A and B are shown apart, each in its own frame.
Chain A
Amino acid sequence: MIAQQQLHFLLTDTVPSRRNGSVPPKDETIREDRTIVLKTEHLTRVVFGKRLVDDITIAIEKGEVVAVVGPSGSGKSSFLRLLNRLDEPTTGTVYLEGADYRQLAPRVLRRRVGMVTQIPYLFPGTVADNLRYGPRQRGENLSEQIIEALLDQVGLADRAESDVANLSGGEAQRVSLARAIANGPTVLLMDEPTSALDEESKLEVEALILKVVRQNALTCVIVSHDPAQAARIAGRAVMIKAGRLEKVGPAAEIGHVARFLS
């Protein structure tokens, strides 16, 4: 019942004060708890002799939004896929709340480290079916109230019974985000979540991501090819080049460097 308990705030008034209102400021100082939630240690992935991810060590604090920027093919997505163990590190590891993630069952790890992909792959069926998918893997059935609350968060209230085949790209990405949140994750990974959308939807989804991440007190790692977007969304950014960690610092500063390099 972990997810149900974690999602219970959606139905109560005990929601963090940052829940309501417009997009909160991405001010790092509002985070009181600076516990390390996610830490990579010499994370490396070598494929056919090519170092896709090369010795990356970084610590991410609770509630932090970290952007991963860098040129095309630099290893940003490869790095992200290692964080929820969709790919296996060749060497190095990841610590989730202090525990080596190789000690966790993959399904437990992936429940705690959610992911939103560039293309919102939705399962055939209704929006509600998609939201129920993750919790159902653990034998939990999300109540209609929680589904409505989740959809309300992403601006899709009353769309629970809509067929996913009839959704626009922006709507599909919103469902994908709500589906990841429905699992009650601690960390949310996002791989270029707005790059497949038109300009209008892109800005809407971007604002929504920021709102949802703050409302749910999530720690977030977002891959973006757009340094300006990284600067808008994240407090901190890491720049990856040829698989290696080139620079870590405030998102605005790193975004400026990345823009210059690209």
Chain B
Amino acid sequence: MLQDFFHNQWALGAAQAAASALLVLAVMLLARRRKIHLEREMIVALVRGLVQIVAVGSVFIVLLRRPAWTGMALLAAMIVAAARISAGRAKGIPGTFPVSLCAMAAGSGCVIVLMMLAGVIDTTITSLVPLGSMLIYNAMNANSLTLNRFRAEVESHFGLVETALALGADSKDAVAPYSAVSFRTSLIPAVDSLKSLGIVWIPGLMGGMLLAGTDPIYAAVYQFVTISMILSSSGLTSLVSSVLIRARAFSPADQLLLRPGASAPGGALSAPPK
């Protein structure tokens, strides 16, 4: 319908963006009726998402004529930005930004480089940046889920964790069950993506490849390749993240710093590190 009114592609894009944003606003209003206030977060996310993606589109116009290393630099910047966003999901644990940065650099960074070397990811900017960003985005989600779930699990089982410490367990063993839960939880989206591939959803990348004239079977197999890379980069990110965050949750003397109300006066986070 919108195509009938807008013949210029930019105007059509703006109208389509407005239509989709209206749906989000409708959901927001429904939530508001149930006294769930998401207005501020949703509006900020909408505006931020639109501005960011248009900016990236503009950057692409410039990047198309640039050498391949600029694509790597852009992906590195994306990892830093993703680490900042993800770190905010585990407020209360000190040093989540460096943890997130290391985890995502190790997870998505390693997979991107390895797959480039293996020839799975094309080194041209138009291929490297969109595919790399998909891996980084999913690694970010895995990292956020790992941090968030780890904190929640440890806080809700702090009595058991301290009991384990009091019985002579080290910090690694004391939180092992909760690290495992946070790792498993963080991989649910990636595993489900792989399970539902082709049945529940067909990634947009496949549509793009088909439009570009790629053989449909190769396009289909490449979707599997992409989702497998997402799973491996998410898994590696989550593994590194859970190891690093565990170290942050304890003092060098194996004292649990992550307790409910730990940042309040009397809480454990005020314990001076030794």
| Cα distance A50–B266 in the bound complex, in angstroms | 8
* A window 101-153: CB within 8 A of B: 102, 106-108, 110-111, 114-115, 117, 119, 121, 123, 133-134, 137-138
A-B contact pairs, 15 of them (CB 8 A): A50-B265, A85-B253, A86-B162, A88-B253, A88-B274, A102-B253, A106-B254, A107-B169, A110-B167, A110-B168, A111-B168, A121-B163, A134-B168, A137-B168, A183-B168
Q: How far is the CB of B181 from chain A (nearest CB, A)?
A: 13
Contact in complex: A47, B163 (CB < 8 Å)? no
| Per-residue A-contact encoding for B148-170, CB less than 8 Å = 1, 0 else | 00000000000110111111111
Smallest CB gap from B250: residue in A: A106
Partner pick for B274 among A102, A134, A138, CB 8 A cutoff: A102
- The tally of residues in A whose CB lies under 8 Å from a CB in B reads 30
Q: How far is the CB of A128 from chain B (nearest CB, A)?
A: 15
Q: Assuming the A-B contacts A84-B166, A88-B271, are A107 and B266 also in contact, with contact meaning beta carbons closer than 8 angstroms in the complex?
A: no
For B173, list chain A residues within 8 Å (CB).
Answer: 137
Q: Given known contacts A106-B170, A137-B169, what 8 new A-B pairs fall within 8 Å (CB)?
A: A47-B271, A48-B266, A87-B255, A88-B255, A88-B271, A90-B272, A106-B255, A121-B162
For A111, list chain B residues within 8 Å (CB).
Answer: 167-168
Q: How far is the CB of A182 from chain B (nearest CB, A)?
A: 9
Contact in complex: B160, A47 (CB < 8 Å)? no
List 7 A-B pairs, minimum CB-CB distance, nearest first: A48-B265, A134-B167, A111-B168, A121-B159, A115-B166, A121-B163, A106-B254
Smallest CB gap from B166: residue in A: A115
Interface range on chain B: under 10, 10 to 19, 20 to 34, or 35 or more?
A: 20 to 34
Binding site for B on A (CB under 8 A): 47-50, 52, 84-88, 90, 102, 106-108, 110-111, 114-115, 117, 119, 121, 123, 133-134, 137-138, 179-180, 183
Q: Is B228 interfacial (CB 8 A cutoff)?
A: no
For B164, list chain A residues within 8 Å (CB).
Answer: 123, 133
Contact in complex: B159, A107 (CB < 8 Å)? no
Contact in complex: A123, B255 (CB < 8 Å)? no
Contact in complex: B253, A110 (CB < 8 Å)? no
Contact in complex: B167, A179 (CB < 8 Å)? yes
